[in-house]
Amino acid sequence: MTSGDLTRRNLLRTGGVLAAGATINLLPEVAFAAPSTDEAGTTGTTEQTKTVTGTFTPSIADWYYLPVQVPRGVNQIDVVYSYDKPAVPAGTRGNACDIGMFGPEGHQLGNERGFRGWSGGFRDRFSISASEATPGYLAGPITPGTWHVILGPYTVAPQGLNYQVTITLHYGPQGKPFKPNPAPLTAPARQRGKSWYRGDAHLHTVHSDGRRTPPELVAEARAAGLDFMVSTDHNTSSSALQWGDHATDDLLILNGEEVTTRSGHWPAIGLPAGKWIDWRYRAGDPSDFRRFTEQVHKVGGLVTAAHPFANCFGCTYEFAYEIADLVEIWNGPWTDEDQQAVNHWDGLLRAGQFIPAIGNSDAHSPGQTVALPHTVVYADNLRREALLAGLKAGRSWLAESSAVNLSFTVSADGRTAGIGERLKAEIGTPVTVEVAVSGVPGTTVTILDQLGKEYTETVPETGSATVRWTTYPRYSRWVRVEVRRASGGPNTTTPNAMVAMTNPIFLGRD
């Protein structure tokens, strides 16, 4: 069976951008005949297999759906796919194609009931049954009806992309139902009431394109000295249903999803277990983006603009910043892309738009260090609602590792304010800015305001220092702190690497 060559048919344009989520692009249907049964109702068929081939041209939509008619009696679906990778000239994108699955409940944009899994381009096969599923996919009954394999041609070579999809249906009784076991809501061994808590809010496992299993990620997060972590596998909710199998009493595990669109990535953090957020739209579809960010907010989660200047197709954040709750200005070992993100975030801040900064490791594999960097947030307690409230308020700072400690306050006329707060003072009132750091040998501490760098001191070899500077609300609308190492940082040769950074403290009456 073949799907033939595909072009831009059924494609809509919105402002010159392909409206990927607006149109359903169907491939020719794959139909399986119901197996014959004897008088006792027993079928002699144990499995059926069909293969589909086709070609995507460079002028193509983002998503295509392969309908699969699943008859009664099926207890497992296996899908294997492949595509060619012809040589392309330097600077030309080659072939890459993603894959996932929707059940008979539907595959329309936002149809959460129909979603059954996603593996992007990380795997070449998956299986789904009532009892279990390949990581990234959701176990559950194999209901008869029209299922849809979703194919996402991520990049297509000038020669086109020739694909093959093989579907195997297995027959027999449904297995024992899968029992979700989400993470506990508390981590009592790390609970300190009102305190600063360390967390990495952008992490991956084998449930998307990570190389760590869930227990391996938990072990790495604990070893890094974190109080909490957020699991943010790409475009799927599957990992959230099993964190309870691996949780400990000294690490709070929060659920999330890195919503991975063709116009950038935005981790939704603090989601209820099992909540899925759709990703089938682009920045040219602003109503769709707003629709799904509102879903995140409705369930109490936060929206993060991830690695805004990452240099890969679909990675750079192209959506509206004003809808985001957080901006990930530091992603993994320090690079020039992080500096671009800081510059942009600082520009927004100077223009009066404060979106709290966050730093995360985005660690995928054992070679990538969990908690490099991470965010230290002041919260009423170590629970989801309190942590998210602290992050949204900007009561946080970013650290290279748990060895780094920092405190940052401003004071005037007997009043003191901390990170993310406002010190109300008249424009002519002297304000003392105080920064204390430890665990940062070989660095400099710089105090900045809307004019840029205002005061810098070198930290002695002991790695500890207390830095003070005086300003006035007339001159400084806000102040923030950067701690940098001229020689670079862990896993990076980029000079002047960030070691710690704060969100601002605001000065003045308004």
- The predicted-structure confidence for 30-40, as pLDDT tens digits, reads as follows 999 888 765 54
d(CA 223, CA 394): 26
User: Looking at residues 165-169, what average pLDDT do you find?
Assistant: 98
pLDDT in tens, 62-76: 999 999 999 999 999
> In this predicted model, what pLDDT tens digit does every residue of 171-224 receive, in sequence order?
999 999 999 999 999 999 999 999 999 999 999 999 999 999 999 999 999 999
**Weakest mean pLDDT among 15-29, 274-288, 340-354, 472-486:** 15-29
Contacts of 179 by beta carbon, 8 Å cutoff, 6+ apart: none
341 phi, psi to nearest 5 deg: -65, -40
Mean pLDDT score across all residues of the chain = 94
What's residue 479's pLDDT? 98
Q: Which DSSP state fits 504? A: -
CB atoms within 10 A of CB 341: 24
| Cβ burial 155-189 (10 Å sphere, 16+ → b, else e) | bbbeebbbbebebbbbbeebeeebeeebbeeebee
Among 38-47, 141-150, 325-334, 490-499, name the one with the lowest average pLDDT: 38-47
Q: What is the mean pLDDT of residues 114-134?
A: 98
pLDDT (0 to 100) of residue 23: 67
Q: What pLDDT sits at residue 342? A: 98
Query: What 3-state class would DSSP assign to 492?
Result: strand
Q: How confident is the model at residue 22 (pLDDT cuts 50, 70, 90)?
A: very low
Share of the chain above pLDDT 90, in %: 92
Question: What pLDDT is stored for residue 4 in this prediction?
Answer: 43
Q: Are 300 and 388 in contact (CB under 8 A)?
A: yes
Look at residue 45 in the predicted model and tell me its pLDDT.
Answer: 79
- Is pLDDT at 5 greater than 60 in this prediction? no
SS3 content of the chain, % helix, strand, coil (to 5): 10, 40, 50
